[in-house]
A and B are shown apart, each in its own frame.
Chain A
Amino acid sequence: MTNHWNDLQYADALMVIGANPAENHPISFRWISKAIEKGGKLISVDPRYTRTSQMANMYAQLRSGTDIAFIGGMISYALENNLFHKEYVANYTNASWIVEDSYSFEDGMFSGYDEKTRTYDKKQWAFKVDAEGNTLKDPTLQHPNCVFQLMKKHYSRYDADTVCGVTGTDKKMYIEICKTFGATGQVGKAGTILYAMGGTQHTVGTQNIRAYAILQLILGNIGIAGGGVNALRGESNVQGSTDFGLLYHNVPGYMDVPTTAEGDLTYEGFLARITPKSGYKINHPKFYTSMLKSFYGDNATKDNEFGYHYMPKIQAGKNYSFMRIFDAMYRKEIEGMILYGSNPVVGGPNSFKEQAAMGNLKWMVAIDLFETETSTFWQKEAGSDPASIQTEVIFLPACSSFEKEGSVTNSGRWMQYRWQAIKSKGESRSDLEITHMLARRLKELYKNEATPAAKQMQALYWNYGEHDHPDIDLVCRDINGYDWKTKKQIKSFGDLKDDGSTTAGCWIYTGFYPENDNLAKRRDNKDTGMSNFLNWSFAWPANRRVLYNRASADLNGKAWSKERVGIEWDGLKGQWVGNDVPDFVKDKGPQDPTFADPFIMQVGGKGYLFSSGLNEGPFPEHYEPYENPMSNSFSSVQFNPAVQFGEKEMNAKGESDKYPIVATTYRLSEHWQSGVMTRNVPWLAELVNNMFIEISEELAKEKGIKEKDKVVVSTARGEIEAYAMITKRFKPYKLKDKTVHHIGMPWHFGYKGIATGATANRLTPHIGDANSTIPEYKAFLCDVRRA
């Protein structure tokens, strides 16, 4: 989230697209309700009518996988009808920047495409620069090749009729939504976009989110209270686990993993690659070196490039993401798997295939509170023949969140502490303890060896006490960072150095753990202004609550609205003051040429309406899902041209003649993720005890399905049986030239626990987004019949 939960109350309009907060983030509704009570308009855009839709002022149905069409039309409407925030667009975004002539867009394709590799040469989308390397601009926004004009032209194709023919939305309602949300483009108004996995789990997922961001930028909704692009994250610490680099391509603090690329041969070369010439990321060398120092301690010196070569280097250009793990497992390239609270047999795409691939493992370690479908994939109940599965499985019982202590980071980036309420149940242990004990034992095993593998492990600086139970305060210190010589904890990431004199396990958290304090433990709930609660817990970075808050003030540093003061320039004091920690240099005043550059993390300091960061193009363009019921109305390019395919055997594709019904998966209020925790909680199992699919009365009638019937859902990947939930809340999509049915189903179920049921992910395709490789769980094709 750019903003945070309490901040939602300040919105004049809230568009929920690809999320269902009433069910999946219920307490957010405490604040959404407050916004509505003050006259704010809640807009629910969703393939199905959910509990959120019922609470909304407006509901628009959209076909799964058509967000870019929907938002593209809204961008177009705002531009054509002059609803956009002109001052903001002209000054705080890159609308005025002029793009190279090599950029073009024709019939669904941008310039620079290479069909063989399914990649673009992004240099063709570069900005024009003068001899000194300065970007050329046209402040009048009239130049035909300036971003503003290119954007306007691109989205002029997204007229309401074409859009609604693709999305299946009622046109009257669509226009109403364009007007209502577009009205937040007025100076002083605020609109927020709330999204979750309904936005991301598509082959165009990342571009969906970029489309939301572009709309918010042109309406001047970023950086202000009640605004923002807000990802409603699904797990208590998926924010933290991402911050701490538990993805193949990131180390902590969103910095790159070294690769085999030539430039990465030396630390210097690597730093040159990851450090831009302007923007806050110019400090990357300080953060990276401090991190290496935390990893390798005394074994990280200037002479050995701060231990850079102990870090594993991944193959340049190779994708090591979730689905590719199972591809590799299928090819018998992976011998062992370690799972910390993870259940891919229920949560992974095309999960029966992923389960089959696990049979190729030599060993598996599962750390969890309850038996999972993954840790028991070898059992008869799983459809396996135990005798033929040679995988050795070790299950380590973990304790729950209140049987240990530590912090989690919520969607609003608040790092909050959880104290231990009771000793861990039975012999279960905290994950912290388990990892610590593994590390100590492994170090012991490698102690006397001289292989490169042993040296890496020996170099690792593991300083959390000499007992089985690690000292969590030492871990906090390690995350925060300290001066290597004086051992004093660092106050702010601004104090980190690139010479090996400081450490920082995760620079964005630096400052949460100053000497003698842990700011994550703060419990002062006094509202310090605009519900930012600056003395409650700690928000990264630097306790800042609303990101890009410089943009809450106008060109002179005055708040756009007196009702929504983020930060303002105080000329007398010569600094930024207000209700938040400035996301800007505190004393940078109007004399500074970059005073009006609010997006400090970006090169050039502006919000990017046009960006070459993503793989399929500088503007989001609608492409149909991998499996789809109609041809693309916007171009002759059916499918995202930059999507990379994985192992063919893992990814059978269904066509609409055999599978004419659109399917989507989702979560319920009463269960969580793969259900491991909630399906084992009796009171929750009681609330939703059965796997079901939601289908419309029309489709039920067509298929002869009656209330409470069991049905079979089939896709190119497999079949599952579930109860039918026939509902008026599902309506067939009325598309351009045909009517298409759709169904929805929760993905929480499996065969273990108290509440059991068929696993929806046995049906989902094994294909992912062109940038993030997140699977396309949200839009695929199926057929339905009575069981």
Chain B
Amino acid sequence: MEMNVTRRQFLKLSGAVAATLAIVELGFDDKTAKAKSGEFKIAKLKPTPTICPYCSVGCGILVYANENDVVYTEGDPDHPINEGTLCSKGTTVRQVYTSEKRITKPMYRAPGSSKWEEVDWEFAFDKVVKNIKETRDKSFIHQEGGVTVNRTDAIAYLGGAALDNEECHLNHKLFRAGLGLSYIEHQARI
């Protein structure tokens, strides 16, 4: 990986010597408070640069994560646009990971059902591809007025503005060039 992040020192306090850290109550409960007091929270973590997922300014963010959790996120000081600063949304990307509301397993809702069921990926993929194939085969127009059109108007595709370029490319390729969808749209239209 070529990501030469410099952990820039923002401030050189002349004559700063090690002193007792001000101990403040940091955690939501006693346990976390004990764990955190006296320890610099990002001391041993190597930041990974990313770009903010929200608006299109394209600010740089450094993600401080350990094996299992995102511990902290901050503006990337080396980034020429935001130079270490961020807005409220960019500042809180950490919670996009930590939010308890994240869905972490595929879910299935049967026709007429009033609830989700957690399913495994194989089940979910199987349902998706079977649905796509069945609808597509049924609705596929090979020729129209003597013209080869190779398309289906019975499946709609929406989305892309929150995806990576590589993902947009594969989506376009699969859904238009491979499956022949005519209804391909995303957020730029609305």
- In the complex, is A directly touching B at CB under 8 Å? yes
Q: Which of B54, B110, B156 makes the CB contact (< 8 A) with A672?
A: B54
Q: Are A422 and B70 in contact (CB under 8 A)?
A: yes
Task: Judge if A96 is at the interface, Cβ distance under 8 Å.
Answer: no
Q: Which of B31-67 touch A at CB < 8 Å?
A: 48-61, 63, 65
Complex Cα–Cα for A436 and B129 (A): 12
Task: Judge if A102 is at the interface, Cβ distance under 8 Å.
Answer: no
Task: Judge if A479 is at the interface, Cβ distance under 8 Å.
Answer: yes
Q: Are A27 and B185 in contact (CB under 8 A)?
A: no
Give chain A nearest CB distance to B150 CB in angstroms: 5
**Residue among B114, B184, B187 facing the most chain A CB atoms (10 A cut-off):** B187
Q: Are A370 and B103 in contact (CB under 8 A)?
A: yes
Q: Are A369 and B57 in contact (CB under 8 A)?
A: no
Q: Which of B149, B165, B173 makes the CB contact (< 8 A) with A460?
A: B173
Complex Cα–Cα for A439 and B125 (A): 11
Give chain B nearest CB distance to A760 CB in angstroms: 13
Q: Are A418 and B174 in contact (CB under 8 A)?
A: no
Give chain A nearest CB distance to B57 CB in angstroms: 5
Complex Cα–Cα for A183 and B126 (A): 63
Give chain B nearest CB distance to A234 CB in angstroms: 6
Task: Judge if A696 is at the interface, Cβ distance under 8 Å.
Answer: no
Q: Are B87 and A669 in contact (CB under 8 A)?
A: yes
- List, sorted by A's number, 16 A–B pairs whose CB atoms are closer than 8 Å: A6-B80, A25-B57, A233-B56, A240-B168, A245-B172, A251-B172, A260-B149, A315-B144, A322-B189, A337-B155, A340-B159, A369-B103, A371-B103, A393-B108, A394-B131, A446-B133
* CB closest chain-A residue, reference B110: A392
Complex Cα–Cα for A451 and B137 (A): 9
Task: Judge if B162 is at the interface, Cβ distance under 8 Å.
Answer: yes
Q: Are B158 and A344 in contact (CB under 8 A)?
A: yes
Number of chain A residues close to chain B: CB under 8 A: 166
Complex Cα–Cα for A481 and B135 (A): 33
Task: Judge if A255 is at the interface, Cβ distance under 8 Å.
Answer: no
Q: Are B50 and A370 in contact (CB under 8 A)?
A: no
Task: Judge if B178 is at the interface, Cβ distance under 8 Å.
Answer: yes
Q: Which 3 A-B pairs have the closest CB atoms?
A: A426-B104, A410-B58, A406-B164
Give chain B nearest CB distance to A197 CB in angstroms: 9
Q: Are A432 and B99 in contact (CB under 8 A)?
A: no
Give chain B nearest CB distance to A329 CB in angstroms: 7
Give chain A nearest CB distance to B110 CB in angstroms: 7
Which residues of chain A are near B92, meaning CB under 8 Å?
A: 681, 683-684
Task: Judge if A277 is at the interface, Cβ distance under 8 Å.
Answer: no
Task: Judge if A505 is at the interface, Cβ distance under 8 Å.
Answer: yes
A239-B56, A245-B176 known; A523-B169 Cβ under 8 A: no
Q: Taking chain B's interface residues, is the majority helix, strand, or loop, or is none over half, making it mixed?
A: mixed
Which residues of chain B are near A451, meaning CB under 8 Å?
A: 137, 140
Q: Are A237 and B128 in contact (CB under 8 A)?
A: no
Which residues of chain A are near B108, meaning CB under 8 Å?
A: 392-395
Task: Judge if B132 is at the interface, Cβ distance under 8 Å.
Answer: yes
Complex Cα–Cα for A245 and B154 (A): 19
- When each residue 90-102 of chain B gets 1 if its CB lies under 8 Å from chain A and 0 otherwise, what string results? 1011011101011
Q: Which of A6, A240, A462, A773 makes the CB contact (< 8 A) with B165?
A: A240
Task: Judge if A142 is at the interface, Cβ distance under 8 Å.
Answer: no
Task: Judge if B177 is at the interface, Cβ distance under 8 Å.
Answer: yes
> A172-180, A383-391, A593-601: which one contacts chain B?
A383-391
Q: Are B180 and A312 in contact (CB under 8 A)?
A: yes
A426-B104, A427-B106, A452-B142 known; A312-B182 Cβ under 8 A: yes
Q: Which of A334, A396, A428 makes the CB contact (< 8 A) with B124?
A: A396
* CB closest chain-B residue, reference A428: B104
A248-B182, A339-B159, A446-B133 known; A395-B107 Cβ under 8 A: yes
Q: Are A407 and B190 in contact (CB under 8 A)?
A: no
Task: Judge if A402 is at the interface, Cβ distance under 8 Å.
Answer: yes
Task: List 8 additional A-B contacts (Cβ < 8 Å) besides A391-B109, A479-B169.
Answer: A237-B163, A311-B177, A325-B183, A336-B155, A389-B111, A401-B96, A442-B174, A774-B189
Q: Which of B83, B89, B107, B165 makes the CB contact (< 8 A) with A408?
A: B165
* CB closest chain-A residue, reference B103: A397
Task: Judge if A690 is at the interface, Cβ distance under 8 Å.
Answer: no
Q: Which of A348, A401, A478, A527 makes the CB contact (< 8 A) with B51?
A: A401
Q: Which of A333, A401, A432, A527 makes the CB contact (< 8 A) with B166?
A: A432
Q: Are A237 and B89 in contact (CB under 8 A)?
A: no
Q: Which of A313-332 touch B at CB < 8 Å?
A: 313-315, 320-322, 325, 328-329
Q: Are A421 and B65 in contact (CB under 8 A)?
A: yes
Q: Which of B132, B160, B180, B189 makes the CB contact (< 8 A) with A237?
A: B160
- When each residue 469-503 of chain A gets 1 if its CB lies under 8 Å from chain B and 0 otherwise, what string results? 01010011011000000000000000000000000
Complex Cα–Cα for A509 and B148 (A): 30
Give chain A nearest CB distance to B104 CB in angstroms: 2
Complex Cα–Cα for A341 and B144 (A): 33
Q: Are B150 and A370 in contact (CB under 8 A)?
A: no
A241-B188, A453-B137, A457-B179 known; A527-B58 Cβ under 8 A: no
Which residues of chain B are near A369, meaning CB under 8 Å?
A: 96, 102-103
Give chain B nearest CB distance to A569 CB in angstroms: 28
A246-B185, A402-B97, A523-B49 known; A334-B172 Cβ under 8 A: no
A236-B56, A408-B164, A775-B190 known; A478-B169 Cβ under 8 A: yes
Give chain B nearest CB distance to A464 CB in angstroms: 8
A334-B154, A408-B51 known; A536-B107 Cβ under 8 A: no
Complex Cα–Cα for A671 and B89 (A): 7
Q: Are A402 and B48 in contact (CB under 8 A)?
A: yes
Q: Are B104 and A235 in contact (CB under 8 A)?
A: no
Task: Judge if B26 is at the interface, Cβ distance under 8 Å.
Answer: no
Which residues of chain A are near B174, meaning CB under 8 Å?
A: 435, 438-439, 442, 460, 462
Complex Cα–Cα for A427 and B122 (A): 12
Which residues of chain A are near B61, meaning CB under 8 Å?
A: 402
Q: Are A419 and B136 in contact (CB under 8 A)?
A: no
Complex Cα–Cα for A5 and B176 (A): 33
Give chain A nearest CB distance to B141 CB in angstroms: 9
A394-B124, A422-B70 known; A460-B102 Cβ under 8 A: no
Complex Cα–Cα for A453 and B173 (A): 15
* CB closest chain-A residue, reference B157: A338
Complex Cα–Cα for A460 and B159 (A): 21
Complex Cα–Cα for A649 and B190 (A): 20
A315-B144, A412-B58, A420-B48 known; A320-B101 Cβ under 8 A: no
Q: Which of B109-127 touch A at CB < 8 Å?
A: 109-114, 116, 121, 124-127
Which residues of chain A are near B164, meaning CB under 8 Å?
A: 237, 240, 401, 404, 406-408, 418, 431-432
Complex Cα–Cα for A684 and B93 (A): 10
Q: Which of B4, B56, B128 makes the CB contact (< 8 A) with A394?
A: B128
Give chain A nearest CB distance to B126 CB in angstroms: 8
Task: Judge if A24 is at the interface, Cβ distance under 8 Å.
Answer: yes
Which residues of chain B are near A430, meaning CB under 8 Å?
A: 167
Which residues of chain B are near A429, meaning CB under 8 Å?
A: 121
Task: Judge if B2 is at the interface, Cβ distance under 8 Å.
Answer: yes
Task: Judge if A631 is at the interface, Cβ distance under 8 Å.
Answer: no
Which residues of chain B are near A775, meaning CB under 8 Å?
A: 190
Complex Cα–Cα for A111 and B184 (A): 34
Task: Judge if A687 is at the interface, Cβ distance under 8 Å.
Answer: yes
Task: Judge if B153 is at the interface, Cβ distance under 8 Å.
Answer: yes
A420-B48, A425-B97 known; A251-B135 Cβ under 8 A: no
Q: Are B58 and A411 in contact (CB under 8 A)?
A: yes
Q: Are B166 and A472 in contact (CB under 8 A)?
A: yes
Q: Which of B49, B82, B135, B161 makes the CB contact (< 8 A) with A235?
A: B161
Q: Which of B78, B85, B105, B110 makes the CB contact (< 8 A) with A27?
A: B85
Which residues of chain A are near B161, meaning CB under 8 Å?
A: 234-238, 241, 341
Which residues of chain B are near A335, meaning CB under 8 Å?
A: 135, 138-139, 154-155
Task: Judge if A623 is at the interface, Cβ distance under 8 Å.
Answer: no
Q: Are A340 and B109 in contact (CB under 8 A)?
A: no
Q: Which of B1-27 touch A at CB < 8 Å?
A: 1-5
Give chain B nearest CB distance to A239 CB in angstroms: 6
Give chain A nearest CB distance to B170 CB in angstroms: 5
Which residues of chain A are near B159, meaning CB under 8 Å?
A: 246, 338-342, 367
